[in-house]
Structure 1
Amino acid sequence: MGRYVIMGVAGSGKSSIGAALADALGGEYVDGDDLHPPSNIAKMSRGEPLNDDDRWPWLDLVGQRLGAPADGDLLIGCSALKRSYRDRIRAAVGGPVVFLHLTGERAVIEDRMAAREGHFMPTSLLDSQFAALEPPGADEAAIAVDIDQPPQGIVAEFVRRIGARHD
């Protein structure tokens, strides 16, 4: 049974890839956006980036949900942009977590963000997302896959590399 965070900047595909990957693994996907308090959603909807004080309670909820008993693999979509955020999640889980990092060029992600409808995160906050991003270090349990390929390719690469971790 694995605990995974699908991480990346806004628009990288956390929700769609996370749900497809959970299906491929026979697990469950939870969208971390659904765990944000209304005040965070309102702030981002106004085009204001969250600060760390806004994020700590949300990251604690992500970690608590990820650490809750589950019947199989559990995946949560969460930007987890900074090392300190990933450390906070790991501490709340109290066990191993693998971070699945969706990487990509800014132009690719901006195009994807512009095409999606009904999401509270405006493209104007993409710069703040890239500025905050600290890719996982070599000492962190993480797998990075470039999103500049069809979704089924991204999912297949994660499945392959998750399987390789268990060999």
Structure 2
Amino acid sequence: MTDAAARPADPLSVLHRERLLPSVGTWVVLALLGAVLGVVLVPLSTTLALVVGLVGIAAMCALGALMSPVVEVSGGRLIAGRAQIEVELLEEPELLAGEDWTRVMGTGFEPLAHHCTRGWIRSGVRVPLNDDDDPTPAWVVSSRRPQDLVLALQVARAAV
């Protein structure tokens, strides 16, 4: 075992990081929306329509990437988009996939919970809060790698 593996995790290190980028289908829709901007201009000028269409495609794809939230566990915090919470206020995370995810996002939806979810991601994590001053019962976060997120939260909680 190396020295790095024997040492406890640094609470300031990044334990998990992922950007919730759109699915392939969403990228196609975004590109088509950008192209429509150019198609509208075809009666005026084909060259102008082509330039505006290409700029529109690039702009829509850039917006798709920039508007995608980042889920991160670092520095003793869970960060989901613009929101963040100390891991010491969190309880044991629950991995959600398949029918569990469908239930939490459907009939078991908690309106008071903090949600950082994306419709094109069908798995995630639900983390109950252990804070009597906060009316939020839990955080529900989409993740393409929910097992990694659960493990990172467990490691971060053990480190504090």
Which TM-score tier does this pair reach, normalised by the shorter chain? Answer: under 0.3
Larger Rg: 2
Higher relative contact order (CA 8 A, sep 6+): 1
- TM-score where L is the length of structure 1: 0.26
- TM-score where L is the length of structure 2: 0.26
Greater strand fraction, Structure 1 or Structure 2: 2
